[in-house]
A = this chain, B = another copy of it.
Amino acid sequence: MDKQRTKKTEEASAQKRPTLKTLAFMTGLGVTTVSRALKDAPEIGAETRRRVQLVAKQIGYRPNRAGVRLRTGKTNVISLVLNTEQEIMSFVSDIIYGVTEVIADTPYHLIVTPYSRSQDPLDPVRYLVETGSADGVIISRTQPNDPRARYMLERGIPFATHGRTDMGLVHPYHDFDNYAFAAEAVRHLAGMGRRRLALVTPPAGLSYYRHTVDGFADALSEVGASEVPFNTISIDHSIEQIRMRTAQLMRRDIRPDGIISSAAAATLAIVAGIEDAGFKLGRDVDVVSKQSSDLLHLFRHELLVVNEDFRLAGSELARSVLGWIGGTAPGSLQSLSEPKGVVAYRRSGD
């Protein structure tokens, strides 16, 4: 093809990337010494260390990842495992940015490992572990009894989950307090005089389904309101399904006067359903929704929102995984993000 490499003598203006050998030649030292000097090993003289590091910086030395990986097994890779069909859209972009933010000044790269609805969620994790493709893994859509977490714990590979598990096993996680979200939402609606509340839940198998449902139920009985069940509809369902089901529900005799939604996209469908049935948001029914980017108030200014920060989640998850890799006890790498309260927007004209 186009290999016009100028193959002059070794030390002449070779365009190749510098290696330890290059540094060794330039400093007149052995490669071992150079290797150690660069990582501040104790048996290297102070001056030598400085000299090597100076030269390394000057010529822009960067360790060859393949060399390190082959020799040590360290990949310097964090893998984010994602479901390519069911993740919340903004989740993907925000969590990626959160992760990259944290690993930016580390040698780590982020690889995205996908899996589809039809696959066993354990597949990508098994692949990563078996091929030793990552030093750490981040998974989402965590389940109370999560085979992936159990598997990685068994294999001893550092990981963090977005969402908690409930298996009596300790591992790093970051979670949003969905119990608090649902409870606050109920209280807020009750405070507005709403009495018959409905909940559009997270997907039934996931951990935060329980948290959300529990927060909803507990607060319901606390404020003495009643539930209008949405049945099996969750935010994983299609826009059309949620919309139709909402309209159906609104046309009943006993219809909800308050709805709580666990995701912004579902909320769009809910509002559409409400209006399909001929009711008006803010008058006939109020809706509290989680959102991860600040768009719902543009959609309908009557919407009440609770913000969940996925970028923060990404950062926390990355920090946790790096921490575990670095030797920190996994039990101390858990964090829970509290909702900042229900936010109502005011229209310019109001």
Tell yes or no: A112 within 8 A of B by CB. yes
Which of A227-235, A263-271, A333-341 is near enough to bind chain B?
A: A263-271
Choice from B64, B97, B112, B268 contacting A70 with Cβ under 8 Å: B64
A276 to chain B: closest residue by CB: B348
Contact mask for chain A residues 37-70; partner B; CB cutoff 8 A; 1 contact, 0 none: 0000000000000000000000010101111011
Min CB distance A57 to B, Å, is 15
- In the complex, given contacts A89-B90, A104-B114, A109-B133, what are 12 additional A-B residue pairs having Cβ atoms less than 8 angstroms apart? A17-B130, A17-B131, A60-B130, A67-B70, A69-B69, A84-B101, A90-B93, A100-B112, A110-B112, A239-B295, A265-B295, A272-B298
Contact B84 A97 (CB under 8 A): yes
Chain multiplicity (copies): 2
Collect the chain B residues with CB atoms within 8 Å of residue A348's CB. 276
* A132 close to B (CB within 8 Å): yes
User: A110: which of B75, B101, B111 is its contact (CB, 8 Å)?
Assistant: B111
Which residues of A from 139 to 198 have beta carbons under 8 Å from B?
A: 156
In the complex, how many residues of chain A place their beta carbon closer than 8 angstroms to a beta carbon of chain B? 53
Q: Which residues of B contact A113 (CB under 8 A)?
A: 109
List the B residue with the shortest CB-CB distance to A93.
B92
User: A284 at the A/B interface (Cβ < 8 Å)?
Assistant: no
Query: B65, B89, B131, B299: which contacts A62 (Cβ < 8 A)?
Result: B131
The distance in angstroms between the C-alpha atoms of A293 and B349, with both chains bound, is 31
**Chain B residues, CB < 8 A from A89:** 89-90, 93-94, 293
Residue A218 interfacial (CB < 8 Å): no
Q: Of residues 245 to 299 in A, which have CB atoms within 8 Å of B's CB atoms?
A: 265, 268-269, 271-272, 276, 293-295, 298-299
Is the pair B268, A298 in contact by a Cβ cutoff of 8 Å? yes
In chain B, what residue has the closest Cβ to A327? B1
Is there contact, CB below 8 Å, between B66 and A84? no
Question: With A269-B298, A276-B348 given, is the CB distance from A70 to B66 under 8 Å?
Answer: yes
**CB-defined A-B contacts under 8 Å, sample of 11:** A62-B130, A66-B69, A84-B101, A89-B89, A92-B93, A104-B114, A109-B111, A111-B112, A112-B112, A239-B294, A276-B348
Q: Is A65's CB under 8 angstroms from B131's CB?
A: yes
What are the 3 A-B residue pairs with the smallest beta carbon separation, nearest first? A92-B93, A66-B69, A66-B70
Which residues on B sit within 8 Å (CB–CB) of A94? 89
Residues of A86-145 at the interface with B, using a CB-CB cut-off of 8 Å, are 87, 89-94, 96-97, 100-101, 104, 109-114, 130-133
Query: In the complex, A274→B298 CA distance in Å?
Result: 12
A152 to chain B, nearest CB (A): 13
**A10 at the binding interface (Cβ < 8 Å):** no
Counting CB contacts under 8 A, is A11 at the interface? no
| Min distance, Cβ A219 to any Cβ of chain B, angstroms | 28
Q: Which residue of B lies closest to A156 (CB)?
A: B2
A69→B66 CA distance, assembly (Å): 6
Q: How far is the CA of A97 from the CA of B137 in the complex (A)?
A: 18
A278 to B268: give the CA distance in the assembly, Å: 23
